[in-house]
Each structure stands twice: as C-alpha cells, then as structure tokens.
Chains A and B, each alone.
Chain A
Amino acid sequence: MVLALKSAKTDAVLINNAIATLAVNRDPGIAMFPQTLQDGTFGIAFAKDSPERDAWQKACDAIPEETKQAAWEKWTGSDESAKVLPEQDWPGSNGTVQAAVCDTLEPMSYAGEGGELKGFDLEKILLMARELDVHVEFVGMEFSAILPYVQSGKALMGAGSIIVTEERRQAVDFIEYRPASFVLMVRAVQTPSGEAKTGGFFSSVADSFERTFLRESRWKLFLSGVGTTLLITVLSVLLGTALGFLVFMLCRNGNPVANTVTRFCVWLIQGMPVVVLPMILFYIIFGQVAISGTIVSVIGFTLIFGAAVYSMIRSGVGAVDGGQKEAAYALGYTDRKAFFRIVLPQALPHFLPAYKGEITALIKATAVVGYVAVQDLTKIGDIVRSRTYEAFFPLIAVAVIYFALAAILTLIVNRIAVRIDPRRRSKSVILKGVKGQ
C-alpha cells in the first residue's frame, strides 16, 4: 500500500500506526495525518483460557515503560542496522515455547536478512521471555494462519501486528501490549519523486534487482524457497505415483470394497480446492500433532497427485484393447504377469502426456502451502515484496522460476518417456544377445 502511495496510484492510505510510523521515518516523501481513527491495541494471541497467559501478562507488565518505548522507536525507525533482536542469552531453564509470527508485516514481525524472523512483536515476546526465563522459537507464516495455529495448540502464542477486535477475542485470548490505531498516510507536499527517478529506467531496474535479490542476500531466500517447492513437488510426485499405482493394483480386478473406498476418496480429494486439503490436514487432522507444514504439504499433495495418477492409469489401461490380455491368458500368462508384460507397457504411452501436465499443475498448486506455514517460492516472493515495497521483481522472478522448474521436471519425464517407449528401441536392443540375426 505504501508502494501504491509512492507511485501515486492512490492519494491516501489508511494503515496501522506501526507501518505508518516506519514509512514516515524512512521516507521523507510521506507524511502522516495527526488524527487517529479507530483506536485499539496490538495483541499477542494465546489459545482461549490458556493457563500460561497470565504469567506472560505479568511478565509484560513488569517490563519498564522506557524499554517498551525504546523498542518501538528502534523498530519503527529508519536505522536498519539497529534492528536486531536481542540474543536469548538467559539460561532458559523453564523450557522452550513456540510462537507463531507473521513473516510479512514489517515492522512488527517480518523476515529479515536470510529469512531470519524479527520485528517489534518478536522483541516484545523476547523481553517477556527473559522475565520468565524461557526460550522462544519463532515460526513464520501467513498472517491468516497465525490464529488457527495458536488455536490448534501448535504454538503457545501468536503475534504479527494483530489488532485486538471483539471477534478475535472470542476465538483467542490476548495480551494487549501496545496502542494501535489507524492513521491516514499521504504524500508530503514536496514529494521528491522527480529526484528518485533521475537515474532513468535502467538504473531503476538495476536498483530494483539489487533490492529484490542482492540486498540482505535475498537470493538465498529465493533459493531456499525453490528448494522447498521442489522438495514438496518431487516427493509428492514420487509418493503420489506410488500411491496411485498401488491403489490401482488393489482396485484392478474389481474388488468391490477397494473400489468403493477409492471412488469415495478420489471424489473427496478431487472435489476439494487444492488449498483446502493441506489446511484441513494441518489444522484439523494433524491439529494436535507436532508436525511440520512441509510434511503435511507432502502428504496433501501426495493424496492429490495419487488421485490423479490413479485416474490416469485407469483410463490408460482402459485404452489398451482387452483382446491382448486374453491372448496373454491364452498363452498361459497369469493375470498379474499379463498386466505387467502386456497391458502396462502399452498403457504408459497413453497416460504419460497427462502425467506431464499433472506435474506442471502440481508444481503450480504447491504455491498454496504458505497457508500451512511453509516458506515455499511463492511465500518467499511475498516476504521479499513486503520488505521492498515493490511488486514487479519478486513476482516476475517467482513466475520465471516456476516456469523453469516446470520445464525441468517435464524434461525429465520426457526423457523417461523416451526410455520406456517400446517403439523407440533399436534392433540391437530388441535382439540383444541373440546370435545369427
């Protein structure tokens, strides 16, 4: 939004005071209206009736006012070098707790250099933790994921620029730690916009590139995002293929129980938006289990891909004419052997094109894993965007990387397809080891 304001897409932005203060301190071209609207407080969320909340509330109250104010000024100020979280140098004799924090809301809670989480909220939590002598482990995620995460007990508390509202209060309990309000941000009268653009198009592109990829070594973030996306995709493809194949083998001979169960599951999985299944798995089915979002994503996409593979194999096998199977039986093949020697090799070319398409679809579908607190490529794009206030480079970069990944995976499948296509074998392969040809 700050971005829209600076590029004159809008003339005023209604935004919370933390972001506004930071923006104003950082950029003299932006000013803040003195009146505040809808005053409230920022809160740290705890699960409803959490017994630990009171202890933390006490710890919060014990922090001297000056310390709180100093922290606020540090994180909303323009001095980037000062924005470092305090070391957790206390003994931590009361254990370690998890805190779910948003990773895209500068200055309250965001991912800084190398994806390291920081921000005012985190410092606040650490100040309290020092009082209580506990260590805190931060888990970064989408803002919308924080409250479900806390509610399901995966983390003790959640923070990330959460403004306390009545409705949120019904779902979770809060420690209210800082006044919040909405303020109007506008461009200052003497906008030095001309000055900013003096570098010309190329230097501004180079500048954007520098900010998106080089500053704070953000390319490392992108790299880790690519790694996560690839990990989820490749594991889901492999496991999903195995799953789909296994289920097909169970259903192949019309076993009524296996078929009914499979039909129901396929119907369920394919009837659900791709984003919903991992969320159901993460927040409901594995709600009480300490399990990483990546594993849940792999499970979810394995199911999705498995369902697709099952349907593909079924139609592929259906396309092989039944007479050949009969011919194999008549020659003395068992049902299983006839399937593997005669039917499957001919079904493969039928469904490989669809399989390739499915992989491309899958790698794109994994973009939703941000909802279950996984920092994949798309999520990294969001994180970087929230820091640079710039849409173009992160988005284009993300799109290009997805293209490249899909192309690479398709290429690999193509290679495999050529290798297993019985029609492409040469004479020497067919008659390998036969003399007197």
Chain B
Amino acid sequence: MIELRHLEKKYENATPLKDLNAVIREGDVISVIGPSGTGKSTLLRCINMLERPTGGQILLDGEDITAPKYDLTKARRRMGMVFQSFNLFGHLTVIENLMLAPMDILKKSKQEAYDTGVALLRRVGLAGRELQYPEQLSGGQKQRVAIARTLAMNPDVILLDEPTSALDPTMVGEVQAVIRDLAKSGKTMLIVTHEMSFARAICNRVFYMDEGGVYEDGTPEQVFDHPRKERTRRFVRKLKVLELLIDSRDFDFIGAGTQIDLYCLQNDIPPKEKYRIRLVIEELVQQILLAEYAQPDIAVTVEYAPETQTTVFVDYKGDRFDPHDTKNDLSLTVLTGVAEAFDYTYDDSERQNHVEIRLK
C-alpha cells in the first residue's frame, strides 16, 4: 500500500534518513523502534509529507506523492496522524475538533459529522466530554480525542508519532488501550514508540531503525527474541555499550580509565562491576596483549545491562594468539578469577582474534 524507495532526508547538519527502503502492506501494524536520533519521527513525518524528503520516492498505492504536482491533501486525507503533543485545536470544543475536518474536507453534513464524532468519543471512552475544551482535559484524554479526531476522517493508514511519550506514566495505559483496540480492528498503522512490551503486544511487524534506514525488519519474535544484527540485539536487550580502540603502544590508558568511570556513572553501574571491567582491560590488554603485539590494533567493547552479566569483548588483529596460553600467569589468574566465562575464538574477519569474557 505504501512503498518507500531510497528515501532520504537531509538537514543542514544531520541526515536522519539515507536510502531507506520499505514496503507497508495493508493491515500491517508496524512498530518503529530504535535509538533516539535515528529518524523514526522523521520517517513518519516524511510519509505524510509534513517533512518533504530530500530524495527518493513515496508510493501510495502506486502513486508517487513526492511528485511536485501531486495534490498532497489527497494523500493526507488517507493518512491520519497522531502527534506526541496531541495538537488539538485549542479554540474548538472536543466535538468540534472531531467535526471540523470531516465537514471542511470531506464535506459531510453537520449532523453526520456530529453523529460520527459522538460515536468515536464513546469508542475512546470520552462520551459526555463533547463540549469541553482541550485545555480542560488531562493529557491522556487529549490524546484519546486526538486519536478520535484522526479516526473521524476514516483514514486508510494511521501514523502515530510517540503517542504516549508526553504523558504522565499514569495515563499511558488508557491511551495504549485505545491504540490496542485500534490495532485489532485491522487498520494499517505505523507507531513510533519506546514502549517495547507495548510494541510487541500490538504489532505484527517491527522496524528497527538505525544508520539512516530500516536496519532490521521482521516480526516481533524475530526482532525482539532473535535479532539478526548486532545493533538490534544491543537495543532490544537495552545494552549499554562502551567502545575503546587501542591502536598504538602509546594509548592513553589513563584517559580510558576516566572514560570507563564516566560510562559507569552514566549507566548506574555498581562500583564492584566497574572495578572488574577495569581489571579485565588492565590485565588482558595492558599486561597480556601489549606484551604480545608490537603494533597493537585492539577493539574493546563493554556491554552492560541491568540484571544481566556484563560482557567484555576484545577483538584484536594479528597472529593467532589465545590469552590462555600467555606466560603471564599472574594476569591470567586474575582474569579467570573475575570471569564466569572466558572464551577465545579465531576467524578470518578483520580482527581475527576474539575474546569474550562474561563477568561474574
């Protein structure tokens, strides 16, 4: 129903979308997830051309809506949008918010618009609020009105841009309930959300966005339980990652120590854990590996997630060398002391040697 081809959106100092390709089929309920700044909202706003893409095409039932002469109002009429900040019309009552566009755009009679409006309000649980003004409503109620306003135009697709992000935690539930009900009705929907369990519960497809495109596209099971790609895995497991690249013997280990401190502080990593991370890097990298390689090229990746074990990955370039074989017994003893698992593999990737240490 909607096909995105080589979609690109460039701003002066950022390019959130570069060469994004995706197909949205009728009846799809798609959760768009991903780290902040990866263009999730931009994607939604491009689909209904609130942001004009700087490149690529958007085909709506085969028609290119990015074409200069295309009448955008035609496409927008078929695509409802729910905003993070509700954007209800402040000068109109709730019922007028629902009636205005059907009367103005679809040329419905006032009576018809009113009847539909009342029915929709009942559907989102706000019967009786017809004559209130938006500012008299709570955030959750506003968002439900906004959803009802979108539904009043009976769109083919509904785009929801972080619909619960601006809400009090206590109000998230009521809005999610309405969206869940909507998803069941078979409408095509795209929803940008940070609530993973909610996304998982309502959708049949997930777009994980990263690196300027749809990085991984699959069913919720695929993406959440068996992510195929590294960044997806880190994201869905909520991993906090620290990366260090040691590419010379003069590497600033003191500076790296500060970096580790900061990383631990930001991610609430307990001091005991921090001590172990530093210990692994000192013993494995400084004591064992630097002794082995004259021109080191070592990448260290630390992954931390609350309530799981921290893992340190050390990948390095050079001849095959298993740290278990080191002559530095002291360091090895220290390492095995803090590690629950300590595995070495070798393959023919760029950095051939891989060590994975799972901390106790």
Contacts and interface: CB of A to CB of B under 8 A. Distances in A.
B100 A341 contact: yes
Q: Considering the complex of A and B, which 10 residue pairs feature the smallest CB-CB distances, nearest first? A: A327-B87, A332-B77, A330-B81, A323-B87, A331-B101, A422-B91, A434-B114, A332-B105, A332-B76, A332-B73
A287 interface: no
Contacts of B96: 430
Given A324-B89, A327-B89, A433 B83 contact: no
A430 B93 contact: yes
B151 to A, nearest CB: 11
Nearest to A434: B114
Interface string A313-337: 0000000010110111111111001
Given A332-B76, A332-B105, A333-B101, A327 B114 contact: no
Given A332-B101, A332-B105, A333-B105, A324 B87 contact: yes
A345 interface: yes
Contacts, number: 78
Contact of B76 (A330, A341, A422, A433): A330
Interface of B: 48, 50, 72-74, 76-77, 79-81, 83, 85-93, 95-96, 100-101, 104-105, 110-111, 114-115, 131, 133, 146, 149-150, 153
Contacts of B100: 341
Interface core residue of A321, A332, A422, A434 (most chain B CB under 10 Å): A332
B105 A331 contact: yes
15 contacts: A326-B50, A326-B83, A327-B81, A327-B146, A328-B89, A329-B72, A330-B81, A331-B149, A332-B76, A346-B89, A346-B90, A346-B91, A430-B93, A430-B95, A433-B111
Given A331-B105, A332-B73, A332-B77, A342 B89 contact: yes
Contacts of A423: 91, 133
A431 B95 CA distance: 9
A433 B115 CA distance: 12
A435 interface: yes
Contacts of B114: 431, 434, 437
A430 B150 CA distance: 21
A434 B111 contact: yes
B91 A323 contact: no
Contact of A422 (B73, B79, B92, B115): B92
Interface string A255-277: 00000000000000000000000
Contacts of A334: 73
B153 A332 contact: yes
Contacts of A323: 83, 85-87
A326 B73 contact: no
Contacts of B149: 327, 331
Nearest to A421: B91
Contacts of A337: 104
Given A333-B104, A346-B90, A427 B131 contact: yes
Contacts of A435: 111
Interface core residue of B88, B100, B104 (most chain A CB under 10 Å): B104
Interface of A: 321, 323-324, 326-334, 337, 341-342, 345-346, 422-423, 427, 430-431, 433-437
B50 A329 contact: yes
B262 to A, nearest CB: 36
Contacts of B131: 427, 430
Nearest to A320: B90
Contacts of A427: 131
A434 B110 contact: yes
Interface core residue of A328, A330, A437 (most chain B CB under 10 Å): A330
A333 B80 CA distance: 12
Given A324-B88, A330-B81, A427-B131, 5 more contacts: A327-B149, A329-B76, A330-B48, A332-B101, A341-B104
A326 to B, nearest CB: 6
A67 to B, nearest CB: 75
Contacts of B150: 331
A130 B171 CA distance: 94
Nearest to A432: B110
Nearest to A345: B91
Nearest to B85: A323
Contacts of B101: 328, 331-333
Contacts of A333: 73, 101, 104-105
A436 B74 CA distance: 32
B335 to A, nearest CB: 55
Nearest to B74: A332
A413 to B, nearest CB: 19
Interface core residue of A337, A342, A346, A427 (most chain B CB under 10 Å): A342
A345 B85 CA distance: 20
A396 B26 CA distance: 78
A321 to B, nearest CB: 8
Contacts of A328: 89, 101
A323 to B, nearest CB: 4
Interface core residue of B80, B86, B105, B150 (most chain A CB under 10 Å): B105
Interface core residue of A327, A329, A435 (most chain B CB under 10 Å): A327
A332 B65 CA distance: 14
Contacts of B76: 329-332
Contacts of A321: 87
A179 B101 CA distance: 82
Given A324-B90, A326-B87, A327-B83, A433 B133 contact: no
Interface core residue of B79, B81, B88, B91 (most chain A CB under 10 Å): B91
Contact of A331 (B90, B91, B95, B153): B153
A423 B93 CA distance: 9
Contacts of B90: 324, 346
Nearest to A427: B131
Contacts of A332: 73-74, 76-77, 101, 105, 153
